[in-house]
Every structure is written in C-alpha cells, then in structure tokens.
Amino acid sequence: MRASTSLSFLSAGAALAAGTQNITEWMATSYLSKSVNLSRNYANGVLYRGIEFAYNKTQDQAYLDFIEAQMSPVVDDSGELIDYNLSKKISLDDLRIGTNFLALWAATGEEKYKLGADTLRRQIDLTPRNEGGGMWHRDPTYPNQMWLDGIYMSTNFYALYTAWFDADNATAWDDIMLQFDLIEEHCLRPDGLLVHGYDHSKTAVWADPETGAAPLVWNRALGWYFMSLVDILDYFPTAHPGWNKNLDRFKKLAQALKEFQDESGGWWLIMNDEYPSDPRNYIESSGSAMFTYGFLKGMRMGYLEKDTYSSTAEKGYGCLVDDFITKNDNGTLNWEGTVEVGSLSSNGSFEYYVSVPIQLNDIKGAGSFMYASYEVEGY
C-alpha cells in the first residue's frame, strides 16, 4: 500500500550526501497550520519533538511558541496534569510527554514544566510491577504485560530525568536496565527481531503458554524500541555496564532490520517471514521512519559503520520521501501511510493488525519522519 507523491525532491542519495533539503521545517511548518488537539498523549509528544528538531535547526521562535502553546494548557503551575487520575489508570504511555516537559523547561525556564516532569517521575514509583520487576504497560487494563512501545515511553524519560536530577541513583539506573533485560528475555526471536510484547502471567489470549510472548513482530512497536535503544545512550552513564549492553542490542537489532528491509526501502507492517507475501500486508510509514532515524543517528554517533548501513538508511529515507509525502495546493505537506494504532488489547493476530485503518497526517508518523529528516539535514 504505497502513497502517491506530487513532490519533486533531490534523490534520497543526493539529499543524504549534500544535506540541501529543508524537509524537516517544511513538515514542521505544515503541522503548525493543521489542527492538533491539545493533549499530553504520547503521539503529541512525538510530534512536538519533531517540531523541536526544526527549532534546533533554525532557531525560528515560531516553532518554540507552537510547542509552548500546545503544552502549557496540559499542566498547571503546580505541576498537576489535566485528566490525570492515577487511582483510575496508570499508563506508561503518559510518561512520553515527560521528555517534552524537560526540553521545554530547559528552553524557557518556566518552572511548571519541570514540576510536570516531577509528577510523571513519581508515577514510575507507583506503577505496578510483574513478578520479574517489569512495569505493567497499563494498570488495570494490561496486568503483568510489557510492550516494546512501553519501553520507549517510559525508560527514555526515566533515564533523562535521572541523568539531570538524580545521577548518582544506582538503583534507578539498574531498574531502567531491568526493563530492557526483561523485554529482551521474553520477546527476542532467533532472527534478531522482537515481538510486540509479553504477558508475564501467560494468561492473555495471545500469550505463548511457555514464554508469554506475543506471536507477531509489529513494525511500529519495534520502531519504538529501536529508537529507545539509540536515544537512551545519550544520557545513560557510560560507566554502567548497561550502556555497553544496550549498545550491543542496538547494533544487533540494526543488523536484523537491515536484513528485513524490503526492496522498496521500507519495512512491512507485520515483519514475520510468512507475512510479507500476504496481499493484506503493506509497507507502513511510521515504523519505516523510526528505523530510518535509528540507522541515521546510529551512524552519526559512530555506533554503526557507514560502509555497512548507509545504503540501508538511504533506501529507507528515499522510501519515506518518495512514497509517503504529498503536497497540498497551499504548499503544506501531508504525511501518509501510518497505521492508526496497534494494541495487544486485541487477539494479537495478523488479521487484527491489518484491519486497523491508515490515518492521514498521523502525528506519530510525521513526528518520526522529522526525526529522520533532522538527522539528514541538521548536522
């Protein structure tokens, strides 16, 4: 399922080599004119991070003003969050916006954003754990379950907060690593990919009776995890053994993802070997953007060899630009090809994942595309 394009860009290879495109801010500016709901949802956090990259690249105050206008209403001066009631729901998804709070606090000095991050840090201590010590993805909806999605939502904020405000807390660093250790233990497949999640109690309808693992590799869940691995190396202490452990995990996953890349440059919605040939499967844009970002940042940071992975990143970025961007008459861009959701509240079947609709201008996909574009253009 490939989106048409009405844009004329340099080839992806030329853009990667020359860095002459300005698609990061073009896409960011496009979303300044779209209707974005005020929310502290994780999807909004992804979009705001992409627009933050446009601000970092240009220092255009309009981007920072937009982010603050969106985020200021979701937290009050005392750090309390709108629609936040831990007696009814504790969700790892809520933690994603914490990194945005910290970035906005650093940029503006406005104390309420630091207080909002403090509120979310306290949530981590209240989150139920399974018997292995893994944080439940959501209480009460998903007891004992850990998802790849939740690793990205929780550990990166947890690590950034600890690095900035509690760097000597060895217990916190060990706890962060435990989350990765558990997800790798239960979700890693022999081919190097990881399935969507696992149920420690092995009672979910989709759970393997021996391992508790979900059956399928959903590309966006794996994309969240790939980004989590590469981003957390920015602020995890290098003296901790977990830094090298996660670097090794990132490199091994990069190798597997390279092998599973489609000839189009993208990655299939469901990546298990038996499904790319199914006509209901399709190249999905948000996971493909996340993988491309991970490859590009990994090479920039020196974690991945350019001779090995530059072609993978080039093909991936070319697919994103050529197949998933369209241009409106007013000059703004659309982002296409992103599946609306993927949840283990389902039966975890292939039929479920391919039944979920694709959403035009999905902010999770557009934000992730801006991550990748910033790596192409921002350095």
Residue 142 lies in a domain: yes
Contact indicator for 290, 368 with CB cutoff of 8 Å: yes
pLDDT per residue as tens digits for the range 196-209: 999 999 999 999 99
Place of tokens 């990765």: 180
pLDDT at 190 over 50: yes
pLDDT at 108 over 80: yes
Segments forming the whole domain that contains residue 287? 23-378
Quote the CA–CA distance of 88 and 328 in Å, as a whole number. 42
Residue 371 lies in a domain: yes
pLDDT per residue as tens digits for the range 67-93: 999 999 999 999 999 999 999 999 999
* 8 CB burial (10 A radius; 0-12, 13-18, 19+): exposed
pLDDT per residue as tens digits for the range 167-189: 999 999 999 999 999 999 999 99
Residue 13 lies in a domain: no
pLDDT at 16 over 80: no
pLDDT at 378: 80
Residue 4 lies in a domain: no
Of 100, 93, 135, nearest in space to 116 by CA: 100
pLDDT at 100: 98
Beta bridge partners of 283: 268
pLDDT per residue as tens digits for the range 131-164: 999 999 999 999 999 999 999 999 999 999 999 9
pLDDT at 168: 98
Contact indicator for 219, 356 with CB cutoff of 8 Å: no
Contact indicator for 149, 137 with CB cutoff of 8 Å: yes
pLDDT per residue as tens digits for the range 251-303: 999 999 999 999 999 999 999 999 999 999 999 999 999 999 999 999 999 99
pLDDT at 68: 98
pLDDT at 375: 96
Total count of domains within the chain: 1
Q: Is 91 helix (H, G, I), strand (E, B) or coil?
A: strand
pLDDT at 344 over 70: yes
pLDDT at 18 over 90: no
| pLDDT (average), residues 227-241 | 98
Residue 316 lies in a domain: yes
Q: Place 14 in a pLDDT band, splitting at 50, 70 and 90.
A: very low
From residue 88, alpha-carbon distances to 83, 91, 118, 142, 221 in Å are 11, 10, 20, 13, 25
Residue 1 lies in a domain: no
Q: Is 83 helix (H, G, I), strand (E, B) or coil?
A: coil
> Residue 293: which CATH number?
1.50.10.10
pLDDT at 371: 98
Q: Which two tokens stand for residue 102?
A: 């910290």
Contact indicator for 213, 200 with CB cutoff of 8 Å: no
pLDDT at 11: 55
Residue 315 lies in a domain: yes
Mean residue pLDDT of the chain comes to: 94
Residue 106 lies in a domain: yes
